[in-house]
Amino acid sequence: MSYFISSVAHSVAKKGSNSIVRCSKPSINKTHMRWLNLQEYQSKSLMEKHGVNIQRFKTADNPTDARQIGKHLLDTITSELVVKAQILAGGRGKGTFSSGLQGGVKLTKHIDEVESLVSKMIGYKLVTKQTPSDGVLVQRVMICESLNIVRETYLAILMDRDFGGPVIVGSPCGGVNIEEVAAQQPDKIFKVAVDITQGLNKSDSLQLARDLEFPELLIEEASDQIHRLYKLFLAVDATQVEVNPFGETDTGRVIAFDAKMNFDDNAEFRQKEVFAMDDKLEIDDREREAQEYNLNYIGMDGNIACLVNGAGLAMATMDIIKLHGGEPANFLDLVVMSKKGRFYKHLNYSHPTQR
């Protein structure tokens, strides 16, 4: 489903235009295939390497390790912990586990509770508004220091097709569904279109920090963090870097409290370290094998197989099937092929049981 991951931020970029900085449109044409998606803890690791302020954290894949990590953090740097389930979906805080636990983001000051919470997260499926109806299996949790957030903003950097380059989208209304903000308060959405050949201007990042309503004492730091996020965006060939919330703490720091990053698969040849972070744990088994053959494949729940030459025609074919009451079993773009073995795989993956 990686074709559709970035739809929220991209749709917001089309709405609300209270403050738009326009540059001459670069003559750049790019065709994207799939987008790599990393877990929050992996995205935050990349941010930390590029000087972006984040909460200190470690991850665990079992309750015992989670307890040890939590104890170390409580003994050394914090009086409260945040326990966050790691899946490739938003809305975790309001999600429900198959264990019965409510919420995939928990606060606690007690080490015994860390182990108890994690035992009800790892090995169970978490259902949110962005997961399949049966949820996604949680296999890792993130244990991090709790910081007091006094104000939440929203910040995203994405490649915009209409502009032909990066666009930074921000709002002083963070920590909530940004699409709702764009629909209900379009004057609270601010955008900066960046000429990729010139880079982000200091004056633009300062103005965006003010648009996000940071106090004057934090304008410089907020501007610096926006610059660091933009440099990260370019350095790793990202298609999207989304931080929600991009927050202000009670100690006067600007922190990226959440992180979602997508990457252009066409850049894999020069981003081998980044792509090696993809554990593929949440990818459907058919999709995982299809990627080995470089097939543009997404499995679905229907029973009508689709084998189409061209992504646009494939989407149209799926629309026609739905229009006439059918359900497509897959999205499969034939793309350019030169080997009969690969063509056989296309036929096999168009649907393994339906012919």
**Active-site residue set:** 154, 242
Q: Tokens at residue 43, please?
A: 């995205």
Which residues on neighbouring strands pair with residue 264, listed in sequence order? Answer: 35
Question: What count of other Cβ atoms lies within 10 Å of the Cβ of residue 158?
Answer: 22
Residue 350's pLDDT is 58
Residue 342's pLDDT is 58
100: left (phi over 0), alpha (psi -120 to 50) or beta: left
Extract the runs of DSSP E, i.e. beta strands, from 100-194.
105-108, 125-127, 136-137, 141-145, 149-160, 165-171, 190-193
CB 266 within 8 A of CB 33: yes
DSSP character string of 180-227 = HHHHH-GGG-EEEE--TTT---HHHHHHHHHHTT--GGGHHHHHHHHH
Residue 296's pLDDT is 80
Tokens 């202000």 locate to 248
Task: List per-residue pLDDT tens for the chain, 355 residues long.
Answer: 333 334 456 566 655 555 444 443 443 333 334 567 889 999 999 999 999 999 999 999 999 999 999 999 999 999 999 999 999 988 899 999 999 999 999 999 999 999 999 999 999 999 998 888 899 999 999 999 999 999 999 999 999 988 889 999 999 999 888 888 988 999 999 999 999 999 999 999 999 999 999 999 999 999 999 999 999 999 999 999 999 999 999 999 999 998 889 898 889 999 999 998 887 776 666 777 777 777 788 888 899 998 888 888 999 999 999 999 999 998 888 765 545 555 556 556 555 555 4
3-state SS assignment for residue 155:
strand
3-state SS assignment for residue 303:
coil
Residue 115's pLDDT is 96
Residue 347's pLDDT is 56
Dist. CA 120–CA 143, nearest whole Å: 15
Q: Report which of 152, 174, 156, 143 is spatially closest to residue 250, judged by C-alpha positions.
A: 152
